[in-house]
């Protein structure tokens, strides 16, 4: 009788150990899965390497028939407005204007201007980017911007921001929301950048 009792106790003990070990394994697996999912978002940012049909470091010649020149910086970055109206929305928010910057005839930066958007649209924008690229680093208000959300990898920098309504800001950006992305590789090539 004693042997049966001990045997049963050992069986219960081993079952509890297995359950505890299984819980640990499940917990560790969930943690690793969460880390993997978090890492996947930023991997998607590098994999996409652009926004919509615009891919960073692609040649100017791919876009030249759809661009209107508007400025060149003293560092040699040429900026153009995208003139086609085929892109109505980015991340679920209506697009007001798209600007592309080229350095050495390669797409260096993409700027998406949404204009003045409602608070709910701001939340939709951030949620949709978050689904694709993960949780951003958020910086709160400064003199020019109400908030800044950024996603950064070794290869890519993506930022969404809402400009303040400060009357000292240019009317072109005052109270507006923008999204921009740039190639860190090309940024390193620009003198004093």
Query: What CATH number is associated with residue 135?
Result: 3.40.1000
Residue 19 forms part of a structural domain: no
Residue 42 forms part of a structural domain: no
Residue 23 forms part of a structural domain: no
Residue 1 forms part of a structural domain: no
Residue 103 forms part of a structural domain: yes
CA-to-CA distance for 98 and 142, rounded, in angstroms? 25
Give the per-residue pLDDT at 35. 40
Residue 10 forms part of a structural domain: no
Give the per-residue pLDDT at 8. 55
Give the per-residue pLDDT at 134. 85
Give the per-residue pLDDT at 135. 82
Q: Which residues contact 185 (CB under 8 A, 6 or more apart)?
A: 57, 155
* pTM more than 0.85: no
How many helices and strands in the chain, by DSSP H and E? Answer: 3, 12
Q: Write the Ramachandran bin of 167: left for phi over 0, alpha for psi from -120 to 50, otherwise beta.
A: alpha
Question: On the CB side of 111, how many CA atoms lie within 13 Å of its CA?
Answer: 16
Give the per-residue pLDDT at 102. 97
CA-to-CA distance for 177 and 188, rounded, in angstroms? 26
Token digits of residue 128: 């949709």
Give the per-residue pLDDT at 193. 64
Residue 21 forms part of a structural domain: no
Backbone angles phi, psi at 57, to 5 degrees: 70, 10
Residue 41 forms part of a structural domain: no
Coil, strand, or helix at residue 161?
strand
Q: Name the one residue in this structure whose structure tokens are 């507006």.
A: 176
Give the per-residue pLDDT at 141. 72
Nearest Cα neighbor of 175 from 109, 124, 129, 121 is 121
Q: How many domains does the chain have?
A: 1
Give the per-residue pLDDT at 170. 79
Q: What is the pLDDT along the chain (193 residues), one digit of tens a residue?
A: 545 554 554 465 455 444 444 444 433 333 434 444 444 678 888 899 999 999 999 999 999 999 999 999 989 999 999 999 999 999 999 999 999 999 999 999 999 999 999 889 988 999 999 998 888 888 877 778 888 999 999 999 999 999 888 888 777 778 899 999 999 999 999 987 6
Q: Which domain holds residue 168?
A: 50-189
């Amino acid at each position: 009788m004693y042997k049966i009792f001990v045997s049963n106790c050992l069986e219960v003990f081993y079952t509890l150990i297995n359950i505890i070990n299984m819980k640990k394994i499940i917990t560790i697996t969930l943690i690793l899965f969460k880390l993997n999912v978090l890492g996947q978002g930023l991997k998607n940012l590098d994999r996409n390497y652009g926004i919509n049909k615009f891919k960073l470091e692609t040649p100017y010649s791919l876009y030249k028939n759809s661009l209107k020149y508007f400025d060149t910086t003293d560092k040699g970055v040429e900026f153009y407005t995208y003139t086609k109206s085929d892109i109505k929305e980015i991340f679920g928010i209506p697009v007001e204007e798209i600007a592309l910057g080229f350095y050495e005839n390669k797409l260096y930066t993409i700027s998406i201007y949404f204009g003045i958007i409602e608070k709910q649209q701001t939340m939709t924008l951030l949620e949709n980017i978050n689904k694709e690229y993960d949780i951003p680093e958020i910086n709160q208000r400064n003199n020019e911007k109400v908030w800044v959300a950024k996603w950064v990898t070794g290869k890519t920098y993506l930022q969404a921001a809402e400009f303040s309504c400060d009357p000292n800001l240019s009317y072109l950006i005052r109270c507006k929301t923008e999204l921009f992305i740039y190639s860190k590789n090309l940024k390193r090539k620009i003198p004093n950048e």
